[in-house]
């Protein structure tokens, strides 16, 4: 029951906090709409699209994956300048970023 209450109130409380701290409306929209998987208000990418996709990536290979749409099913997946996201595009992006990832890991291990 506590989880249900937290899930229902978390976005409202988050929105109130961000308004109180005078955050920009773009960030407040993220709090308000970060669970609306099929939202598609604008053809351009926005912060909420990025957060939606990040959440879906986080659920890959977890029990929560089956409770949410696939990454390539949500409108946000086609808005990034990389092209339509999906398993092949994800692998391509990771392969292209491999050098950067290796450099960051090396720095962190130093």
- Looking at the structure of the chain, the number of domains it has is 1
Rg for the chain (alpha carbons), in Å? Answer: 17
Q: What is the rounded average pLDDT for all residues in the chain?
A: 86
In a domain, 36, yes or no: yes
In a domain, 99, yes or no: no
Nearby residues of 43 by Cβ (< 8 Å), 6 or more positions away: 79
Q: Is the CB of residue 59 less than 8 Å from the CB of residue 68? A: yes
Tell me, what's the pLDDT at 8?
79
Q: Which domain holds residue 38?
A: 2-81
In a domain, 15, yes or no: yes
pLDDT at 91 over 80: no
In a domain, 90, yes or no: no
Q: Is the CB of residue 51 less than 8 Å from the CB of residue 30? A: yes
In a domain, 89, yes or no: no
Q: Model's pTM, two decimal places? A: 0.69
In a domain, 43, yes or no: yes
Report the distance separating Cα 30 and Cα 28, nearest Å.
Answer: 5
């Amino acid at each position: 029951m506590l989880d249900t209450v937290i899930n229902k109130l978390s976005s409202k409380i988050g929105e109130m906090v961000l308004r109180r701290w005078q955050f920009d409306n773009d960030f407040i929209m993220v709090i308000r709409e970060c669970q609306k998987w099929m939202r598609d208000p604008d053809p351009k990418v926005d912060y909420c699209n990025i957060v939606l996709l990040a959440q879906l990536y986080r659920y890959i290979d977890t029990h929560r994956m089956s409770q949410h749409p696939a990454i390539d099913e949500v409108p946000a997946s086609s808005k990034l300048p990389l092209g339509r996201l999906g398993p092949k595009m994800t692998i391509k992006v990771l392969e292209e970023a491999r050098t950067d990832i290796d450099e960051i890991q090396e720095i962190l291990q130093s």
